[in-house]
Structure formats: structure tokens, C-alpha cells
């Protein structure tokens, strides 16, 4: 792609961020991550055995020289739990980067906005580079930016739903409202969903289930990579405006008359 994704002063050539859960096995996970071309890999701290150096541990398999680990606070329902989890990740992994999740409802997995803002403020104050998973709400995204978050990551649809970008108008308003990178997080189901996100002007896409749960995860990882690249190029190229009626692609000048 013609440019990279810059977060907190660090530039990545790939705009694809990929997760590590729910794969059929570890080898499929590694192959999918490799085929995705992603440089940022997110891991759930609550499900890791941090002291286990065996081959079954995700941390023992991910090449830290090749990939930037982005620990997340998945499964946290309070700001306090999320902050504690982020600090455990910093101590164990030696990174100040964290994908902040504060869940407000167990059924929908929608974020708890009040808890998210509280957690983000505490972590930014403690020197973390915070990438918050949030609602597709321009007001919340602006508040997160003002707190000092390095990016905002609005959902396209509920986590794992595969419903795609349900509210592109809100995403567009978010893009017009904040200056930090906007990364779609959650809801992408297939390659066309990822392309839509990028065509809107999003800076990146973070996904997990759409690849891990696909019939062929490695092929889907490649499809997502290509869709994200194509969507970004289309955004940079600038689409033609939509019109109700036809516009001839060939000039009417010089028509043959019988």
C-alpha cells in the first residue's frame, strides 16, 4: 500500500490487526497470521498461562521480533479489572500497549462507556498506549481521543456476529470527528466487510472470529489481507459519485446516423 498505519509514532506497513483465539489448533493460527501479513497480533491476557513456556502457549509461538503484541483486556467488566489486567500484561510482556475492553453486557458484549472512559483515563495517566474497543459513537470516540488514546476502535457490529458494518454513517462521522487512527474492531464477517471499512476511510481493521471460525482460516486470512489492501487503494483513488441515472462512458460525439 502507498502508506502505512501510524499509531503513537510507530508505523506499520500492514493495516490488518489479527487475533489469536478460537483457531482449530496452534499451527492453523500461525499459518493464518503469516498469510494475513499482519504486524500487530492481539492476545487475551486472561486466557494466557504467562509462566508456561511450552509449545502450546501462544506467547511461546509468536515471534516477538516479527510481530508487535497487543495484549487485550477481554473479559473485563469493570474499569478496575481492566486496569489490573493491563498492568499484568505490562509486567509480563514488557509492553505499554493495550487494547482496552470494558464490557457492559454479557449477552451483546457491548462496551460499558462509563467504565471504558474511566479505564482509559487511568491507563493513559499511567503511561500506556491505549487502543480502546468502543461503540460506534462519535461522542465517545472524541472523548477517548481527548483523554489521550492513541487510536479509537469502534465496533462494526457485535463481537463475533459477522454482520459487517451496520452503521457506516456513524463510522463516517467518527472519521470526520477525530484525528487519531480509526480501526474497525468487531463484526467483520468476510472480505467484503473489510473492504467496506477501508473504503469509508478507516485506518485499519482488527478481527479474529471471521478468520479463526472460517471453514479455511488460512485462505480467509489471505482474503482479508487483500480486501483491506484493495479497500485502502479504492479510498485513496476516490470513488465516482453515485447517481440515479446513467452517464455514458463513451462520448455521444461522432455518432453514426443511418
Active site (catalytic) residues: 99
Helix (H) or strand (E) holding 205: strand 204-207
Residue identified by cell 467504565 is 115
What are the angstrom distances between the C-alpha of 239 and each of 79, 110, 127, 232, 235? 41, 32, 40, 11, 7
Helix (H, G, I), strand (E, B) or coil at 171: helix
Instruction: Quote the Cα angle for 222-179-33, to 5°.
Output: 20
Which residues are CB-neighbours of 57 under 8 A, at least 6 positions away? 48, 49
* Residues β-bridged to residue 153: 133
Would you tell me how many other CB atoms lie within 10 Å of the CB of residue 88? 16
* Spatial CA neighbour of 122 closest among 149, 104, 142: 149
* Residues β-bridged to residue 111: 103
Amino acid at each position: 500500500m502507498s502508506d502505512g498505519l501510524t499509531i503513537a509514532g510507530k508505523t506499520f506497513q500492514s493495516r490488518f490487526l489479527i487475533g489469536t483465539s478460537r483457531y482449530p489448533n496452534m499451527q492453523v493460527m500461525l499459518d493464518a497470521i503469516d498469510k494475513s501479513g499482519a504486524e500487530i497480533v492481539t492476545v487475551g491476557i486472561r486466557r494466557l498461562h504467562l509462566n508456561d513456556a511450552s509449545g502450546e502457549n501462544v506467547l511461546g509461538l509468536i515471534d516477538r521480533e516479527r510481530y508487535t503484541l497487543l495484549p487485550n483486556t477481554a473479559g473485563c467488566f469493570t474499569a478496575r479489572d481492566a486496569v489490573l489486567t493491563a498492568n499484568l500484561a505490562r509486567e509480563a510482556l514488557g509492553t505499554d500497549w493495550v487494547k482496552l475492553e470494558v464490557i457492559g453486557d454479557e449477552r451483546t458484549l457491548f462496551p460499558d462507556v462509563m467504565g471504558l472512559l474511566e479505564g482509559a483515563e487511568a491507563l493513559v495517566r499511567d503511561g500506556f498506549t491505549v487502543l480502546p474497543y468502543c461503540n460506534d459513537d462519535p461522542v465517545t470516540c472524541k472523548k477517548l481521543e481527548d483523554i489521550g488514546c492513541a487510536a479509537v476502535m469502534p465496533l462494526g457490529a457485535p463481537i463475533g456476529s459477522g454482520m459487517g458494518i451496520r452503521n457506516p454513517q456513524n463510522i463516517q462521522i467518527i472519521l470526520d470527528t477525530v484525528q487519531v487512527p480509526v480501526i474497525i474492531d468487531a463484526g467483520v464477517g468476510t472480505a467484503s466487510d473489510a473492504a467496506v471499512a477501508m473504503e469509508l476511510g478507516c485506518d485499519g481493521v482488527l478481527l479474529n472470529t471471521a478468520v479463526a471460525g472460517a471453514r479455511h482460516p488460512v485462505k480467509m486470512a489471505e482474503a482479508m489481507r487483500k480486501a483491506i489492501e484493495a479497500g485502502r487503494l479504492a479510498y485513496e483513488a476516490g470513488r465516482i459519485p453515485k447517481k440515479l441515472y446513467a452517464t455514458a462512458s463513451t462520448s455521444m460525439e461522432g455518432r453514426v446516423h443511418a
